[in-house]
């Protein structure tokens, strides 16, 4: 995409955005190739500072800017800091690039033989990675990914985390110290956004603010949305879900808990419930959707 085309895509998908300085011509093209671009790489900055535009624009000692194309602030605003080659991806695994191009399962990265700065758009999310990003950041990340995929006719397989690329020691985007988010789960949310986020929809696919905490009431509680059931997420929805699974006979999965943090144990219990119900078998991935939720609370 040209700078003009990316702005058009952001507007098309309702992505809140602002340009910084002369971002449209700020790049490292004089140092190497830019394109063909095959995907979007997701990073965290390692800082919770409220304004990281200049750092991403100018760079840091030993690493000149721009350090990405998109800076994603805590309020969900995308700040455009460069367009063209940017110092964000570094060297990575050619097998991972091939998987991104073919939009197949990302293999384990074990090499650093391919220039990622030439092949990926980059978004730096303004947070340390030692805790979760804000709900607004996650919502915008999904919309930004959908806007880029829409232009290139990509699917969610073209979105990867920096920790999947092969740079030693990288674990971004993180949700706790040293732990990368489950990118397969993130890609599922992006897939939903690509489908639901097409222009003309009256509501964004993932709200910038989550649904309010449910109040006890008779009947089936409303499904809160997939956002709450992702790696490291903590909420009373996870506890509600786990307690209901225990009531339904799936307590054997829990040595402690359930809740409040979503873990692989919750996913295994949900998947077992789904496999035991023919209506859910076709989508037994361990993540609750509206039908799983409804049947679980019946």
Reported as a single tens digit per residue, the pLDDT across 184-201 is 999 999 998 887 766 644
* CB contact at 8 A, 155 and 194: yes
pLDDT digits (tens, 9 = 90+) for 32-72: 999 999 999 999 999 999 999 999 999 999 999 999 999 99
pLDDT for the residue numbered 209:
41
Count of all residues that appear for the chain in the document: 298
Structure tokens at 136: 């607004």
Q: Which residues contact 56 (CB under 8 A, 6 or more apart)?
A: 45, 65, 66, 67, 68, 71, 79, 81, 82, 124
Rounded to whole angstroms, how far apart are CA atoms 274 and 268?
Answer: 10
> Domain ranges in the chain?
3-196, 226-297
Residue 92 phi, psi dihedral angles, 5° rounding: -150, -165
CA 160 to CA 266: how far, in whole Å? Answer: 24
Contact (CB, 8 A) for 167 and 91: yes
pLDDT at 83 over 70: yes
Q: Give the separation between CA 245 and CA 247, rounded to whole angstroms.
A: 5
Q: Which CATH class is domain 226-297?
A: mainly alpha
Tokens representing 293 are: 């939720």
Q: What is the pLDDT of residue 197?
A: 65
pLDDT at position 215? 47
Residue 22 near residue 82, CB atoms below 8 Å: no
pLDDT at 231: 65
Beta bridge partners of 92: 114
pLDDT at 210 over 60: no
Angle in degrees, 0-180, between the axes of helices 290-297 and 236-245, rounded to the nearest 10: 50
Assigned CATH for 3-196: 3.40.80.10
pTM: 0.70
């Amino acid at each position: 995409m040209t700078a003009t085309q990316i702005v058009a895509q952001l507007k098309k998908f309702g992505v809140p955005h602002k340009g910084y300085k002369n971002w449209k011509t700020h790049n490292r093209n004089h140092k190497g190739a830019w394109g063909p671009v095959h995907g979007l790489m997701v990073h965290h900055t390692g800082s919770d500072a409220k304004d990281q535009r200049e750092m991403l624009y100018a760079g840091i000692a030993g690493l000149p800017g721009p350090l990405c194309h998109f800076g994603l602030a805590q309020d969900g605003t995308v700040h455009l800091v460069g367009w063209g080659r940017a110092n964000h991806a570094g060297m990575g695994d050619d097998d991972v690039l091939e998987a991104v191009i073919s939009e197949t399962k990302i293999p384990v990265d074990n090499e650093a033989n391919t220039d990622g700065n030439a092949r990926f758009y980059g978004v730096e999310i303004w947070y340390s990675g030692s805790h979760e990003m804000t709900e607004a950041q996650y919502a915008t990340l999904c919309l930004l990914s959908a806007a880029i995929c829409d232009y290139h006719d990509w699917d969610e397989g073209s979105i990867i985390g920096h920790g999947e690329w092969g740079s030693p020691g990288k674990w971004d985007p993180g949700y706790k110290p040293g732990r990368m988010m489950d990118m397969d789960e993130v890609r599922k949310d992006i897939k939903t956004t690509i489908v639901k986020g097409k222009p003309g929809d009256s509501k964004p696919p993932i709200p910038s603010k989550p649904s309010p905490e449910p109040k006890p009431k008779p009947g089936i509680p409303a499904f809160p949305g997939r956002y709450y059931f992702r790696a490291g997420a903590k909420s009373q929805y996870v506890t509600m879900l786990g307690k209901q699974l225990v009531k339904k006979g799936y307590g054997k999965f829990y040595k402690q808990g359930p809740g409040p943090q979503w873990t692989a144990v919750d996913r295994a219990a949900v998947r077992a419930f789904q496999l035991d119900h023919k209506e859910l078998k076709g989508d037994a991935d361990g993540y609750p959707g509206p039908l799983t939720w409804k049947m679980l609370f019946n």
